[in-house]
A and B are shown apart, each in its own frame.
Chain A
């Protein structure tokens, strides 16, 4: 419910506008810097064969890994949602776990067992392993929301199971499939660490190379501008699909739960396939990391030999930055979420939409823009912890806003008004009504941002103050010098943090996705939208 006509208080609008401004700042700076390059130079730079290669790499990778993810994700979703598979609940959880594993750790796991995985093949493998849940989750949700009467009707009209799937089920999955594919594309575009470790060249890695060659050269901004355009295109397309999708049923009335297909003899084949999938996507990073922990790390190639002191320092600074970044993101997101759930109007929409842009903004672009800004104009912030935390806040603002919005939607205006009529003042309402109702959602949002920050690599790499090491930068430093054994403890701690946080999150806030058919159509708080775009 909203106050349709009321104007939002200026203070609230101002607070929300801070977040929007911070989002637009790096985009503006990047484009401004790109325009410094003269037209001829820019044309020369952009018409290099390399830019074509990067485009081709990105497109091919997106196409191949999306196709694989569609097959894997849809197949898995169908078996989990629509068949009498042994242990459906467990599979539903296990299949979503890869989202909690940072993709550069997946990358590290594969590249450390075989350097042959460098390049395209490895990139396809890592992207598919890391991002297939972006298809699995929305497809599973669509299958759950699909009225089984549609399939019954099609069967009665003479369609066999396969034809029925193709003519009725698949078209209903279109929005989920297309949306998921665009999310994979967005991740491919914005991912840096995983590809850098795989020595696979994409826009982000090339921007990093430009950065390394000239610190903050305008040519890097030129590439970054192209990347921003590509990302925003994907983001808009994705938002559009979500907006126009007619996921819901047309009719009213009570829906019966879908009847589950019997698998019969092939039951164990399917179980074996799913187990293989879990082993490849989740088991591999875990097993490889554990393996390397038992290996002796040669001093020759590790920048700093692993010591308990170093591990503790890196863990503490990761945690510190994680909490700090979460705090900033939530502080920026809460006014936006409040504005979006309670008020209407062009300004409100504009502010909210702007915050979603960060989902399509590669960390490297934000980081580079902020380096430029601070080194030239805000020198006291340059190389400070505050700047890094601020960048985390910007980077994960959309994640936080999505969560905050969902949380505040629980605390409806009507309840607030009822409480006010019972004699509570604004603060009492906040404490006794809003907090208990929106609290779990806000906590979930904070937890998701925390996971994203702790596993963030790119901005940390570029902005960490001199002398600061986090788990992510340590994994990076060791892996890029091929010191896999030395990287293992840091990778293990990072995965443990992320998995524990995700597990607590799921246990505390998640609802069982399968099992209880009466609940199964309720949107889960942990939606597919919350995948960290690192």
Chain B
């Protein structure tokens, strides 16, 4: 041991010192991208979608964007906690409830009217505090080898019936599930929603997120699963047609199961650079950006700008028969978590 100790002595410590200096150097240079960052984007949207949009925006305008990604409700809550000190300029999220919550708290500035005008007004905030960018549809994924298409339920509400025991998968902790529960509350009332959730609790296999649900259906672990449509499309994209052993079922005739979720974006009142923030929003709804979203096999969501055709994998937007629930009816989903706790799903 003593030989070793002598070999390893002061010169190594000099090395340690150099390493420490190197550490400071690395930290100083790594976290910052090459472009001078000005905008801070808090995102609850999928990272790959956002990365694509951000790099296109940076290229087009020369304005740098730093992204903080998380789940929609998490990021919204974070902005609320950060309050006036929040570094966020723009909030862009998957589902309307979390951005509606920020609007309710008065944290969002009005969106430029020209930006709002690009999107049909029913997909924007009624008070103009956020703009709709993309839409996704709630669907039922199913495994045709386990259940026939004809045996699938007419309504989402049917899934709480005892005959669905063990045949359904849900991800109650995924933030995409919350708006759906909220929609059930809006259409059927709180008591019915709780009963429905309790039925689901008895019937369903629980997964962490929609990715887990769709994968389970695809491999035959469970016959059906409640998901957003594009998770299935992405699974199919990753596995290829040959390995896709599942299909999707659209709830129709205005059933609550066919709810359409709106992904929206807004500018924070506390933004230090509202002008560039508004430019980013305008870019999100611009024809090139919307077309890019539709054409790249990344998001599989419906672009909301009229005249842009969605990815051909998706059922055409106008053929969907969603329930008649407006974004303002949907509101925020603050009460939904309590319902889920009560039903024992969280």
Residues of A in contact with B (beta carbons under 8 Å apart): 44-45, 48-50, 115-116, 118, 196, 199, 201, 205, 209, 211-217, 298-304, 313, 316-317, 319-324, 326-327, 375-376, 379, 382-383, 385, 389, 410, 431, 435-437, 439-440, 443, 446, 465-468, 477, 480-483, 508-509, 511
Contacts and interface: CB of A to CB of B under 8 A. Distances in A.
24 contacts: A50-B344, A50-B346, A118-B212, A214-B77, A298-B237, A300-B238, A319-B26, A320-B22, A320-B27, A327-B23, A375-B85, A383-B68, A435-B9, A436-B10, A440-B5, A466-B66, A467-B67, A468-B31, A480-B209, A481-B47, A482-B235, A483-B238, A508-B4, A511-B1
Contacts of A201: 208
Sorted nearest first, the 9 A-B pairs with minimum C-beta distance are A323-B23, A320-B26, A215-B77, A303-B47, A300-B237, A212-B74, A467-B66, A468-B31, A317-B30
A116 B221 contact: yes
Given A212-B74, A435-B9, 5 more contacts: A118-B212, A320-B25, A375-B81, A375-B82, A389-B27
Contact of A215 (B9, B78, B85, B87): B78
Nearest to B42: A466
B207 interface: yes
A523 B68 CA distance: 47
Interface stretch (B11-19, B115-123, B184-192, B267-275): B11-19
A389 B23 CA distance: 11
B341 interface: yes
A316 B30 contact: yes
A385 B207 contact: no
A323 B26 contact: yes
Contacts of B146: none
A260 B197 CA distance: 63
A207 to B, nearest CB: 12
Contacts of A375: 81-82, 85
A440 B27 contact: no
Interface of A is mostly: helix
Interface residues of B, number: 69
B67 A466 contact: yes
A216 B81 contact: yes
Interface stretch (B32-40, B151-159, B258-266, B282-290): B32-40
A205 B207 CA distance: 12
Interface of B: 1, 4-6, 8-10, 12-13, 16, 19-20, 22-27, 29-33, 37, 40, 46-48, 51, 66-71, 73-78, 80-82, 85, 87, 173, 175, 207-209, 211-212, 215-216, 219, 221, 234-235, 237-238, 296-298, 300, 337, 341, 344, 346
B24 to A, nearest CB: 7
A391 to B, nearest CB: 14
A476 to B, nearest CB: 11
A436 B23 CA distance: 24
Contact of A199 (B16, B48, B212): B212
B341 A48 contact: yes
Contact of A467 (B32, B215, B296): B32
B266 to A, nearest CB: 18
Given A115-B216, A299-B48, A316-B30, A324 B234 contact: no
Contact of A298 (B5, B238, B300): B238
Nearest to B44: A212
